[in-house]
Structure formats: C-alpha cells, structure tokens
A and B are shown apart, each in its own frame.
Chain A
C-alpha cells in the first residue's frame, strides 16, 4: 500500500510531463464547452479512458512479469531486472528533465505515429458522450517514456492484478493536472513551471534510485523485491 502511495505521488509530481505532451488533447476535449460542469465531466470521462488503458497495460505488464518470473535468468530474477530497468528509465527521465542529458533530435512521430494520430483525431472529433472516453483510451496508447517507466515497475510486480493496480494508481496520479489544464486552469507562471518540473525531475531521480537499490540483492534480504512481492500478494488477498 505504501508503494501504491509512492506511485501516486510520483506520477502526480511527474504529471507536468503529461501536461506538456498530452495537455493539448485535454484542451481539445473541453474546447467547445463554456460552462464548468459539463467541461469537468468531459475531462473526468477523458481521464477515465486514459486510466482504463493504463490499467489494461498494467495487467498485461503484470502478466508478462508473471510469465518471465517463471523462467530463471542468469543472475537476477526477471522482477529484479525490470525494477532496475524502471529505475534506470526514471533516472534518465529525471536527468533529461533537468536538462543534464544531450537533447535528442526531434524527428517527428514517424509514419506509424501519423496513422495512429489519424485514428486518434477522428475520436477527438467524434463528439459523442462515449467519444471522450474512447479518445482517452486512445491517448493511453500513445508512445510515452513516462508510461513505459511505470509500466516497467508494473512488470516487476510479476502479477496481473498488482500490475493493474500499480498502473491505475499511476493514471490517477496524472489525472489532476490533466483535468485542471483541460478545464482551462491557468498554467503556472514561467518560474512556477520550471520549479515544478525541477521538483518532478528530483522525484523521478529519487524513485529511480530507490527502485534500483531495492532490486539489487543485499545482505539483509528483507528488502528484495521477491520478498516484497510475496508479502504484498498475501496482503492483497487477505485484504
């Protein structure tokens, strides 16, 4: 449960990234509505769609983790490997947010991305009640470093149910910022935004470090993920 809280906090802090990448979609969803209430409902529906996709991906990831954990890798378990991968990804995301990594050349979204966005824009234009939910579902599938990072954590859980919960928590964490921006909430000023991004980057670095640290076997092995998984499983079922 503590870890779920950490995921929620982590994703909330990193949602500046979501606003940057997908804020435009949220604004498009709310664009035609003037009063607050319907706009808010739309944003909720849209975010619910996104969270649903993340939950689905989490379950899938957990299932993959489960399959992998049955095969012994040479030195570390699959879960440890994914914990380390997730940690490294988080550290990379954090470092790049802080501007400490060389910037990648912008190369556009590529032909497949173009095709996907052609599908996606159709959903955004189809203004039915279900349209916003479906647009949310499609948004969830857009390639995104942050999603993959947390997904690696979900894989590391090695259990579909936990993967689902982890990614749901991630989705819920990103929702407030997306809903706020979609409802026309003023973004922070330049300085505020930079500070928030820094904070998010530091949070990512911290979480990444923790994830890697936990995955490396220590003498006092109570912290290793395999133990945690077992105990969490137990807690999950009895609760």
Chain B
C-alpha cells in the first residue's frame, strides 16, 4: 500500500469510520464538506482500486477482463523490451566502442523497437495510476505512486531523446519494469490484505444469504437482511441459523460450538432457545425470530471483531507516524539524489537516482506490516473461540508475565463433586448413596446435583423419597419407608439431635481442616454417612498452569474460599494461592501488582470478578458463550478450556514477533536502499523488484501466523515443557479439547 499524506493545508474533518471497499482497511476520508461520498467507491490505496477493478462482479465482467489483459499485455511487452535491452546493454558493456556499422544499425533498430513496445506499457499501466492520483488530488493528498509515475515518464522522455540522437543509453526497460512491478506489487498487497480481512471476518460467511420464512401462510425465500423480528424461519437440516429465536416446531440436534465453544451438540425442541450461527444437524426446525441482524449472538461477535480490527495498536501508530514524514522526506531525498546525479554523470543519472530513491523509499511494507499480522492472529484466535476486543490487546497479552486466576468457575467447574465418603458401621455405600440421592433428586441445589451425579456415575439407583421438605440453610428431610431421612450440614444433624459416632466425628474434623464442605446423611437418629465435597477441576487445568509457567508467567490463584481450602488448592495444583478474598481484595491485589517484570492478566468468569479484571492490563473472561460483550473482559473465551490461555499468549507473542520482524525488515530495507539510492548505486529496476520482494516478505511472514501450528515456538519454552505443550496444542488445533 502506498501512503496518502495530506498536504499541510487547513485541517479537514476526518471520518474514521470509512473503510476501503476492497480490503476493509480503515481509510481516513478528507473532503471539503467532511462527508463521505457514498456514490464513488472508496479505496485505501492504488492496489485495492486496481484489484477491485479486476475482480469486479457480474455486469462489469468486460471491464475486469480488460484490466487483467492490460496487465498481461504490459508484462508481455515489457519482456520484449527487456530482451532488446539485454542486447543493447551487452553490446555497450562487453563490446565497448569496437562495434561495426552493422551492429550500430541493429542497435538503432532495437532502440526504436523498444520505443514502440514500451509506449503502450506507459499508457496501459501509467494511466490508471495517474487516474487514481487525480482522485487523491481531489481530496488534497498525493501518493508516492504518483511521483514514481512522473519519474518513469521522465526516464521515458530521456530515452526518447537518446533514440532520436542515435547514441547513448536508453532506459525504456527500466520504465516498463518499474510500472509492471509497481502494479504487481500493489495488487499482491491488496490481495494479501483481503486474505487477512477475510480471515478475520470468516464468521460473517457462516450466515446464510437467503432464508425460508413463513409469511401469510406460505413459505417464501427472502434475503437474510429482510428478516423481521417475529418471522418464523424454516431451518433445514444442515443449515446454519440466521436469527436468534425460539423453536416453534421440529426437533434437531444443534451444534452450538460457534457460540459456546462446546463441541457437543444439543437437542433443541419446541420452546428451546437457539442462536444465529449455530448449525441444525439432523432435522428441520421452525424458529420464531427474537432478534435479527446485528442484534443476534453472531452479529454481536462480528461487531466485536470489526471494532477489534479497526483499532490501531502501538506498532501501527508508530508506522503511521513514520509514514507521515515519508512523503516530504522522500521528495527531499529524491531531489538531493537528482542534484548529486546531475553533477556526477548528467541528466540520465539524475533521473535514475531520483527514481531509485522514490521506489526504495515507498513505504509499502510499512503500511501492511502490522495490520496483516494482527488480522491474521485475530482471525486465528476467533476460529478457536477466542474473541479479542481490540488488536492492541494482542500486543498487551504478549507482554503479560503475571496471570491471576479466579478459582470458582474458572479453574473449577463451579459444581461440587463428591470427593470422599465415610460410612457408619452397618450401612453399605450403595444404601447410603441411594438414600441420599433419592432425597437430593428433589432439589436443584448444586450440592444436591453433585450427589445425584455421584450416584449416577457409580450406577447406584436413587431410592425415591416422598414428602421432602427443605429447611433453609440446613438441608432436606423426608419421611418414607426408611422413616425420617435427613440430608444436610452438621448444624442440621445437631438440631435434630442425631448421634455422631467416633468415625463420623473424625471425618468431619478432617474435612474441616482441609477446607472441604460436607453433607451428612441422618437415618434412624444417627449420622450414617459423611460425604465430603470439593469442586471439580476443569479438564486440562494442570496442563494449562504448567504451560503458563513454561511461558515464563507467574500464576496466582485468587479465591473467596476460606484459607484451608486455599491451602488445599495450592497443594493440589502447586500454585501460589490467596484465599478468603472479597471482590474488593482481589481488585486491590491485582491493581497493586508490580508491572516491573511485565503486564498482568486476570482470568475469571467476568461476573463477580469484574473489578479485578478491570484492574488488570488484560481481563480474560472464560465461558462467555454468547455473552461476548462482558465489558470488563478484553478477551472473551467462548469455551471453558483453560488450555486455550497458554496458546493465546504464545500466539500473541508470535504475532508481536512477526510484527517486529516485519517492521525491522521494512526499516532496514528502506534504510540501506535509501543510502544506496541517494549515492546513485542502486538501479531503479532493482529498487522496484526489491520493493515487491519486501511487500511479499511482509505478506508471507504474516501469513505464517495461520500456519498449521497455532503458536508455540521452541524459544517460548524451556526444554522440559516443550513436548507437553506441543501435545495439547495439537489437541487444541484438532478442536477436540479433552
């Protein structure tokens, strides 16, 4: 891309909302009245306008073909001119002045041939650039492309004079090659940018373009944009939903991975709530739309991505600032080179040197160095269920060295799990569990659900309980064939004067010391069983924490649980844990962390730990599902797999590394090239080729971010963690988190 640098004339109103009609890059539009003129297409650079004309859709097919043929024809003619020049150059350099009349005649014929062959190239490729330059001029800006074309015309005119005079060096091939490579380079950049853009916006493509709706008793096909709230949409098996809504008729398995991150499909039947973007797998559904367009779940995801893409990060701002000085600087340097060349060897050297300066100084790579890499990474992360609020978040995440975890709902599922059972003499495990589960089945309390799950997992049939009453803050009791059965905490048992045996008492003490919660089963006036419960760790938590350590991050767990439980977690996961913290304490701890070694991330569910997340440099919310707009989180993970975190950090670091390599390359290349060009040591053709090579390098380097491996480079890791991280990294890619 080339930079449009505004003249230092009175500042116009900027409209940052405008984007390029081809690649989607934000364009600053400056016009006299400050309004965006919607009737004419808007492009960020010459490459995009060229590419758009080539790929123009139906109706303008002829125009597209002509644009392409124009390029091909110019290529063919340039090759012919090159062949003529090779002969002329070889003769000049290797045969010296010892040439005869025949070879002089041949040379003169070839000069005229070059003139004839290169004139069309000038019109074929130079004219569109000037046309684009005219449009730029109208909004008071010029580009280096325009200057290059003027340089090319100068080289051409000089060669024309030489041809008429019949001796000297011609530069037709230089003029042609520069135009050809400039156009090719711009086109490649535009295509590369479009590729990156499509990568980010892949979600948008999930929505069907047309849908079948029921209106006035008949089923008709309409555009997705025209759906109204209240319409009943017929979704066929294998189709994605275009709206959020409620199922009216039909049953189908629905794959909700796109919004929940869960790879399991869920059965939806009448009354069930479905989201846009999800996939009806095996049956037709009739869905009444409750929200449409940008208000749908997927619409919100897309809006989030769009805004993430549009924000400029630190590196992009640096690139922009440098580019601002480019045009005046380049013109100055080209002028210096021209003067130097004029004194050194005459007019032809002046033209060639200043052309080389203009070409090599063109900051093509600079403009795409950052957005290409960031977009690739955003797209990659989105494809794996991680939504970034802005591109800058990627850069911040790369610098994170301390990761705070909220415990409940983040490291653990939040659902209690039966960890141990202590039985009184005279009762079997299945009897105790059967009675407890029978009672628990009537309650929606998380502890009750844990007990029922435990029974199911162990294949124990719950004994149905009747006349269950709930005693607030205590537990449940029922009267049945076994008599009075109680399930509840210690206080409930004490209130009912249940008898604690020695072993029961010991089990309770042990549970208290390790911070676990307990449920007692009371039967026949005695406590018959003590169930100890703890929270179930999410799959992959240990791996995730280990890998964060390997990535050089300090991991700290913050929890509101009492100290004993905190110690237990600390032991179990071998991780620094701070317990008994209120939300305000968590906030203070995160805010008070030293940023000396790196930035701080807070991982939580984005609800009760929102203040702490806001205090961190990056807030990461897990299990967002459809609710990606949790304000405190800069990154929303749709799913619940904590192993996504090290992968994301590695991806962010790799992205920043890519950006740095891109910028380093571009600056190095421009610096060395400029020095050579000003000194008159750089052939303009070489400069033009180097310019395209530089852009291709930047594009290629950025495309590597969407290569087969998400992240994880050997340099990120110490040796022992490498294989482990690679192993579950591959799980992550396979989309099958264990």
Contact = CB atoms under 8 A, between A and B. Distances in A.
Interface of A: 52-53, 55-56, 59-60, 62-63, 66, 70, 110-112, 114-115, 118-119, 122-123, 126-128, 130-131, 133-134, 137-138, 160-161, 164
Contacts of A111: 699-700, 703-704
A134 B72 contact: yes
A119 B700 contact: no
A181 to B, nearest CB: 23
Contact of A134 (B54, B73, B704): B73
B75 A134 contact: yes
A126 B696 CA distance: 25
B474 to A, nearest CB: 66
Q: Which of A63, A115, A118 has the most CB of B within 10 A?
A: A115
A173 to B, nearest CB: 21
Nearest to B696: A112
7 contacts: A112-B696, A114-B703, A115-B192, A126-B69, A131-B69, A134-B72, A160-B90
A128 B191 contact: no
Interface string B56-95: 0000000011001100110110010011001101100010
B54 A122 contact: yes
Contacts of A59: 82-83, 86
B187 interface: yes
* Chain B facing A: main interface SS: helix
Nearest to B72: A134
A134 B699 CA distance: 25
Nearest to B707: A111
A53, A114, A126: which has the most chain B beta carbons within 10 Å?
Answer: A126
B83 A128 contact: no
Contacts of A70: 94
B696 A115 contact: yes
Contacts of A134: 69, 72-73, 75-76
A26 B329 CA distance: 49
B65 A160 contact: no
Given A112-B700, A122-B54, A53 B90 contact: no
Contacts of A55: 83
Given A126-B69, A160-B90, 4 more contacts: A59-B83, A119-B184, A137-B79, A138-B72
Nearest to B68: A126
A10 to B, nearest CB: 24
Given A56-B82, A59-B86, A130 B696 contact: no
B86 A115 contact: no
A54 to B, nearest CB: 11
Contact of B72 (A56, A115, A123, A160): A123
A79 to B, nearest CB: 14
Contact of B82 (A60, A66, A118, A123): A60
A164 B94 CA distance: 18
A126 B65 contact: yes
B188 interface: yes
B69 A130 contact: yes
A194 to B, nearest CB: 33
Contacts of B75: 134, 137
B79 A56 contact: yes
Contacts of A60: 82, 86
A28 to B, nearest CB: 16
A149 B417 CA distance: 69
A161 B87 CA distance: 8
Given A56-B83, A111-B703, A122-B68, A137 B76 contact: yes
Nearest to A110: B700
Contact of A66 (B83, B94, B188): B94
A99 B381 CA distance: 41
Contacts of A126: 64-65, 68-69
A112 B700 CA distance: 6
B76 A128 contact: no
Contact of B65 (A53, A56, A62, A128): A128
A160 to B, nearest CB: 5
Nearest to B65: A126
Nearest to A129: B69
Contacts of A110: 700
A119 B75 CA distance: 13
Nearest to A122: B68
Given A70-B94, A112-B700, A119-B187, A164 B69 contact: no
Contacts of B83: 55-56, 59, 160, 164
A151 to B, nearest CB: 15
A130 B66 CA distance: 10
A52 B94 contact: no
A52 B79 CA distance: 9
A60 B78 CA distance: 13
A60 B83 CA distance: 8
Given A110-B700, A111-B703, A160-B87, A118 B191 contact: yes
B87 A137 contact: no
A1 B523 CA distance: 109
A38 to B, nearest CB: 19
A134 B66 CA distance: 12
Nearest to B699: A111
Contacts of B699: 111-112, 115
Interface string B574-607: 0000000000000000000000000000000000
B68 A123 contact: yes
A66 B68 CA distance: 35
Nearest to B194: A118
A112 B696 CA distance: 7
Please list the 3 inter-chain residue pairs (A to B) with the smallest Cβ-Cβ separation, ordered nearest first: A134-B72, A111-B703, A111-B700
